[in-house]
Amino acid sequence: MLRLRLVVGLSLLAVGAFAALARPWERATARFAPVLTAAPLQDPGLGPGLLPVDVFHPERRPRPDGTLPPLPPPAYGGRVIVHLDAMPKSLCATIDNSGITRRILYEVHETLLLRDWETTEWKPDLSLRWEVQDRLVPKPGAQVPPPEFLIGAIRDVGDAWFVDPKPGYVSTDTPRIAKADVESVERGTVLTFHLRPGVRWHDGHPFDARDVAFSCRIYENKSVDCGEIRQRFLKVEKAEILDYLTVRFTCARQYFNALDTLGDMCILPAHLYDLSDPDNEDGNRMRAANPGWTPGEKEEARYVNENPHNRDWIGLGPYRVAQWTSDSVEAVRFDGYFDPMNAGYVDTIRWRAIPDSDAAFQATLNGELDFFPRMSAEDYFGGSTQVQAFTERFYKGYFYTPNYWYVGWNLYRPQLADVSVRRALAMLFDFEEFKRTFYKGLAVQVTGPGSVYAPGYDRNLKPLPYDPAKAAALLDQAGWTDHDGDGVRDKDGVALEIELLTPPNDKVGTAFGSKYQENLARVGVRLRLTGVEWAALIERRRDRNFDAVALGWSPPLESDPEQIWHSRWGGKDQRSSNFVGLQDRPVDELIDRGQRELDARKRAGIWQELHRRIYDLQPYLFCYNSPRKFAMSRSIRGFQIVPLDPNYVIRRWFYPEGTPGTRPKLAASAAGDRASEKGK
Amino acid sequence: MLRYVLRRLAWMVPTLLGITLVVFAAVHAAPGDAAAMASSAEGSDPGLDLEARRAQFRAEHLLDQPLTRQYLHFLGPFDLSPQGHPAFGGSGAHPWHGLLALDFGREFGRTGVPVAEELGRRLAVTIPLALLSILLAYGIAIPLGILSAVRRGSLGERAAALSLFALHSVPAFWLGLMLILLFGAAGLGWLPVVGLHDKDAQAFGPVAYAWDTVRHAILPVATLTLPTLAYLSRQVKGAMVEALESDYVRAARAKGLPERAVVLRHALRNSLLPLVTLAGSILPALIGGSVVVETVFTIPGMGRYAYEGLLSRDLNVILATTTLSAAMTLAGILLADLAYAVADPRIRHA
């Protein structure tokens, strides 16, 4: 009997071992097999957002005549389970402005303005309309009208400024202020938002101007745990409630990002977060017990930082948070949502956190996830997606995000201070080979900072070519030759030796580093690869205790380049995102100019000039942008890739009509059939 | 006996304090800055000021204070932060804190979440898995060890010895991954491999829910059990072989007792004594092993909590989980010693 058990046990062990070996074998053979290059379904040059809905879905493959099969009619109801890399720390973006938190808030909350998913232009959301006005700053002691009359469209009329409070309706009372009395004209610094009436929070409380003003003022309280985002809001000098549904913000100085900052601000329910709000129960209780009580700054901050609603979020979106477990957040349809036309099709969205991407892929195969956007190239191109468990229920695809990978050079290191050396190092990166072997063709090379889809990214700039001979010549010219015959170039007693830090378990970084190491060794540059634990890596980078570091940025469509490139943050003792220590006057001037430029087109020109200047200086080896590879349930339709984070819109996803558990109409009480509404 | 217990309990206090001191020193000596981790800009907007935020973070969590003050804050029972006990310059809003007050503070990442509460939730997952694993390990290891000892030298015993040796040698994470590949959807598709519940578990009835939990727990428990089982059965076999060759067993056989009675009544009873000692170290080992198993199978238990805390340099989580593990280890050793003392009176009089 024991023998039989042992035989069975050993057989199971043998099968397990075979299964274990099968994958490496499969991977090994894949390496020697003809390279499987992805069809160029998506032109990275065009960017996302221009592709049809469900472009990768097997039932949307083009017909022989080139037309696409129509989408099935959508039904309402059902649930989708979406993968997350980690659980959000909080759902309050004031406190945790991470990508994970924002991804959930897109569905459970709303902002004053919303960027159109396709065109990326701002459009109304909680704010039905908005005005951006100029402000005239008088000299101290100057005899000028009250501040209220110094706001409007300000025009230059020779020796005076003309303040038009309502452009197009010029009145005789419009003040003219002598230029001698004026210190500066701050363009676009007064932003007024007219809020949508009848909007209610998930707990039924009405939304009004108090919520908006409080949400901005909260950043002034230094004890509130708002993180890095506070800096942006400190540029807002004043938040005034003009009436129940009108809020006006005044910025201290002209700043290009003012509308983005306020339009995208996380609005908090004042009745739940503000102890001074007349509808706040905790504040009222304290006042009842002690009539003279007013909350101190620390007390207010603690109330926000430790507010239970940071998890049990009360928002304004079409879905409300219903459950939070140790590894998932679930949101269900909110019937009181103000815009039924934009309320989403599915009834329930669950975000499930599975940090390990291999485990997440297994969970996908098990049907535990409907959408998994973090597939490795091995799984994507390998046999894992050929198994029945995958092909029957899922399809795969990819989309480009604004991410880019780079190697940051420490410009304080003598071997990396010379721009010729950095240009030579850039010419030793064989992107085409790396793209072919590691990414199977799915990657684009980047030439500078910022999103490759941003208007400020100069797409005419060509990457420095892979040219070892030219790189060697550049190093020779710069005086880096092998003086001591040890096989490594040197200059003034310093060897051209670089330690490249990579994050732990970073397969991409290690593969890139190994290949790059070989290329550098051929021209006498020694590259040492060091995998460093994440906390130690951040510390070494912060202390500028590194030669080179391989990391990635995920910038928004347009961000302020000051922290990452301005000399102000590049000093040796400075600790900032400018950890490479770039200090360049033309770069500073471009950033200062761009920050004050309010015209988006002109600003894009400035950022493109900045891009070219940074390209010339090569403070980073700008590597590549690789698309995110995803697995999506075949049952879910309406998947569209859009240019804005997170590059997909869950509220557009639907199950086709006739799917069990769905219904043809949104709800009897709501706006009715969306299709019929659209048809009217 | 009571004096023995009290003496052992008294020794546990300095031992636990020593462990907390070592852990505290090790955590602070390790590279990496908790403030930098908490406000890491990786993957986010690069145009943000991080340093000001980090300074604020250090001040909030006393990380800019001398290590002695930080350690005393951790030890408690007084809260030494600005909101802490008035006797130490605090506002009095939150006077008690630390190990002695059973308050490990709040998580660095999720500001509003008390570590002790989260730890309780995580232990509710880890402890049942560990206990089940112990039960299975002993339940299988003892008969397996006896059979191996009785039939030693046979082909079956050698094969069993080889496979047990292999099981004992393989790292838990590898074993877990192999089980996932074999039984998960990519292989035979028999068992779920992620988490402890199905996506629809909330809609299940009590029986279906229990069955679903069992199905989800099979692979994690197997990963926890198999290496322990291999180790234990080797111990049982060793002790049994020794006992079977002893004089009293020979005498029992000479008396004409049936072999079954000789093995189970005489040899086994004396062989089980070392297993009592081992029990003290197995529970902490399983709790430690849960770090790997819970990470591989994405189970939200204490092991994964400790691992996540370590990655994010959340000192409150690291100190809480290590202190709790140390306390459980000491408790396990104490229980084993007490059991041993009960079984062998010579111990308590020594």
Q: Which chain B positions have a beta carbon within 8 Å of A533's beta carbon?
A: 31-32
Distance CA A272, CA A306 (A): 12
How much is the average pLDDT of A512-531? 92
Predicted confidence at residue B19, as pLDDT, reads 87
Helix (H, G, I), strand (E, B) or coil at A137: strand
In chain A, % of residues over pLDDT 90: 52
In this structure, the number of other CB atoms found within 10 A of the CB of residue B64 comes to 12
Give the pLDDT band (50/70/90) at residue A347. very high
Of A318 and A158, which is predicted with more confidence?
Answer: A318
Are B48 and A95 within 8 A, CB to CB? no
Distance CA A585, CA A582 (A): 10
Of B199, B298, B313, the CB nearest to A81: B199
Q: The complex's ipTM? A: 0.71
Predicted confidence at residue A1, as pLDDT, reads 42
Distance CA A618, CA A392 (A): 47
Please give the model's pTM, rounded to 2 decimal places.
0.80
* Residue range A267-307, pLDDT digits in tens: 999 999 999 999 999 999 999 999 888 998 888 988 998 89
* Residue range A8-53, pLDDT digits in tens: 444 544 544 444 444 433 333 333 333 333 333 444 444 445 678 8
Q: Which chain B positions have a beta carbon within 8 Å of A98's beta carbon?
A: 44
Of A679 and A380, which is predicted with more confidence?
Answer: A380
* Residue range A135-148, pLDDT digits in tens: 999 999 888 888 88
Predicted confidence at residue B53, as pLDDT, reads 65
Rg (CA), chain A: 29
Distance from CA of A319 to the nearest CA of B (A): 19
Model confidence at A209: pLDDT above 90: yes
CA angle, A339 as apex, A333 and A341 as ends, to 5°? 85
A386 touches chain B (CB under 8 A): no
Predicted confidence at residue B247, as pLDDT, reads 85
Task: Copy the structure tokens of residue A89.
Answer: 């720390």
Distance from CA of A633 to the nearest CA of B (A): 15
Q: Which of A302, A312, A307 is nearest to A272 (CA)?
A: A307
Predicted confidence at residue A70, as pLDDT, reads 92
For B303-315, letters b (16+ CB in 10 Å) and e give bbbbbbbbbbbbb
Point out the residues of chain B with pLDDT beneath 50. 41-48
Predicted confidence at residue A37, as pLDDT, reads 33
Predicted confidence at residue B23, as pLDDT, reads 85
Distance CA A509, CA A405 (A): 9
How much is the average pLDDT of A553-572? 86
Could you list the beta-strand ranges (E) of A69-119: 74-77, 79-84, 113-115
Are B45 and A559 within 8 A, CB to CB? yes
Q: Which of B118, B310, B130, B109 is nearest to A325 (CA)?
A: B118
**Residue A7: alpha-carbon gap to chain centroid:** 55
* Residue range A57-107, pLDDT digits in tens: 999 888 888 888 999 999 999 999 999 988 888 899 998 888 889 999 999
Predicted confidence at residue A42, as pLDDT, reads 42
* Residue range B43-77, pLDDT digits in tens: 344 444 556 667 777 877 888 888 888 888 888 78
* Pick from A212-221, A260-269, A436-445: least confident: A436-445
Count, residues in chain B: 350
Distance CA A660, CA A467 (A): 59
A261 touches chain B (CB under 8 A): no
Task: Copy the structure tokens of residue A637.
Answer: 């339709």
Q: Which of B107, B312, B314 is nearest to A95 (CA)?
A: B107
Predicted confidence at residue A678, as pLDDT, reads 36
Task: Copy the structure tokens of residue A436.
Answer: 């072919």
In chain A, % of residues over pLDDT 70: 89
Predicted confidence at residue A27, as pLDDT, reads 37
Q: Which residue out of A26, A384, A538 would a mutagenesis test of the B interface target, given it has the greatest number of B Cβ atoms within 10 Å?
A: A538
Distance CA A481, CA A151 (A): 64
Distance CA B163, CA B151 (A): 16
Of A364 and A7, which is predicted with more confidence?
Answer: A364
Of A538 and A660, which is predicted with more confidence?
Answer: A660
Q: Which residue out of A98, A358, A366, A532 would a mutagenesis test of the B interface target, given it has the greatest number of B Cβ atoms within 10 Å?
A: A366
State chain A's mean pLDDT as an integer: 85
